[in-house]
Amino acid sequence: MKMWFLVVCGVVFASYAFWITGRLERTTLHEVVVDGTQGEALAEGGVVRRIEFSIEHPGVEHDLLLGPMYRPPSLARPDSSVRIEVTVARNGDAPLLDDVYTFKPMAHENKWRPAYLSFTPIATGPHSLTLRLLSPGIPAVHVRIADPQKTDGKRAAGY
Reported as a pLDDT band with limits 50, 70 and 90, residue 159 is low
Confidence class of residue 132 from pLDDT cuts 50, 70 and 90? very high
In a domain, 24, yes or no: no
Would residue 34 count as lying in a domain?
A: yes
Give the count of beta carbons closer than 10 Å to the beta carbon of residue 82: 21
Residues 6+ apart with CB under 8 A from 61: 118, 119, 120, 148
Q: Is residue 130 part of a domain?
A: yes
Query: Which phi and psi angles does 129 have, rounded to 5°?
Result: -115, 120
Residue 18 pLDDT more than 90?
no
Asked if the structure places residue 158 within a domain, the reply is no
What lies within 8 Å, CB to CB, of 94 at 6+ separation is none
Task: Note whether 147 and 26 are within 8 A (CB).
Answer: no
Task: Look at residue 153 and tell me whether its pLDDT is greater than 60.
Answer: yes
Distances (CA, A) of 95 to 18, 86, 104, 129, 144: 36, 10, 25, 10, 18
Q: What per-residue confidence (pLDDT) applies to 29?
A: 86
pLDDT: which is higher, 112 or 137: 112
- Which helix (DSSP H) or strand (DSSP E) does residue 69 occupy? strand 62-69
CA atoms within 13 A on the CB side of 26: 10
Distances (CA, A) of 112 to 45, 104, 125: 22, 5, 31
Percent of the chain at pLDDT > 70 equals 83
Mean pLDDT (whole number) for 91-119: 91
Better-scored residue on pLDDT, 11 or 96: 96
Q: Give the CATH number for residue 50.
A: 2.60.120.260
Residue 76 falls inside a structural domain: yes
In a domain, 69, yes or no: yes
Q: Which residues share a beta bridge with 111?
A: 69
Domain count within the chain: 1
Amino acid 137 reads G
Distance from C-alpha of 113 to C-alpha of 95, rounded to nearest angstrom: 24
pTM, to two decimals: 0.80
Note down the domain range covering 79.
30-146
Tell me, yes or no, whether 91 lies in a domain: yes
- Would residue 92 count as lying in a domain? yes
Neighbouring CB atoms inside 10 A of 101's CB total 16
